Amino acid sequence: MLYDAALTANPIATRISTAAVLAVAGDALAQARQRSAAEKRAAVAYDSRRAAAFATVEAAYRGVLQQPIFSGIVSVCQGTALQRILPSAVVSLDACAALERVVFNQFVVSPTVYYPLFFSMTGLLGGLTARQCWQRARAQFPSLFGCNLLFWFPVQLVQFALVPARYKVPFICLAGLVWNVFLSAVAGSCARWRKPSASSAASAASAASAAVALKGVVVPTGSHGHGGHLQEGSLHEGDEAEESSSEVARSVG
């Protein structure tokens, strides 16, 4: 098998390329669905920067970090902690070990390693500031983490219980193709987070109002007063006074 040979000869490069290709494929499927839904409103171009961000995250996490993380989880989580709670007659040590590993990965690794990497890298590569990345993470993480548990918990039970060590990352990458379609559709785009905040919009509106209010202001050259601003209202008052004097003169005449 060519893939098996590549995994033996160049394991890291093979895992990186597998993760990146499947990430781009998942994001492309999500973008295609979004484009077809948006055709009635306006044409939406393929977002290559978004695809590159997904590929970078997946290559870094699944291609480089996940294999040593899995190795560490397997060595630490042997099922003994759960077997103190669950009766060994009902649940075997292997089943307890698989459950421990899934729980550790989902409740420790995912929120502390994967999602910080995902939100920071996709945000920064998508043109967001650090503050906007944080706002996006705060808004999207709770619902994403709930969906993450529903999808990955059973998938990783199968992975830790049945899949050999050398194929764990490729197996997760294949499952990740389905996950990436969902993840890209729900949290892939950074466009809405690049919009100015409400305070920025208010400041812009205030500046526009000030510009309108200052329209018609006359700034004397210095021979009038001490260089202060003579506003349009002052000119109107002088004109009215001059017209009143003219009317008095005509009535006297």
pLDDT at position 169: 82
Residue 173 · residue 62 · CB < 8 Å: yes
Q: How far apart are CA 151 and CA 50, in angstroms?
A: 23
Residues 6+ apart with CB under 8 A from 151: 178, 179, 182
- pLDDT digit string, tens, across residues 70-109: 999 999 999 888 888 887 767 888 889 999 999 999 999 9
Residues 6+ apart with CB under 8 A from 208: none
pLDDT at position 165: 83
More confident residue, 117 or 30: 117
pTM metric for this prediction: 0.70
Q: How many CA atoms lie within 13 A of 78 on its CB side?
A: 3
Residue 253 has pLDDT above 60, yes or no: no
- Among 112-126, 156-170, 213-227, name the one with the lowest average pLDDT: 213-227
Residue 130 has pLDDT above 70, yes or no: yes
All structural domains of the chain with their residue ranges: 2-195, 211-252
The total of other beta-carbon atoms located within 10 Å of residue 114's CB is 20
The pair of structure tokens assigned to 173 is 């990458």
Residue 153 has pLDDT above 90, yes or no: yes
pLDDT at position 205: 52
Residue 57 · residue 121 · CB < 8 Å: yes
Residue 63: is it exposed, middle or buried by C-beta count within 10 angstroms (0-12/13-18/19+)?
buried
| 2: enclosing H helix or E strand | helix 2-9
Residue 20: is it exposed, middle or buried by C-beta count within 10 angstroms (0-12/13-18/19+)?
buried
Q: What is the mean pLDDT of residues 242-251?
A: 48
The total of other beta-carbon atoms located within 10 Å of residue 44's CB is 13
More confident residue, 123 or 248: 123
Q: What is the mean pLDDT of residues 218-241?
A: 48
- How confident is the prediction for the chain on average, in pLDDT? 78
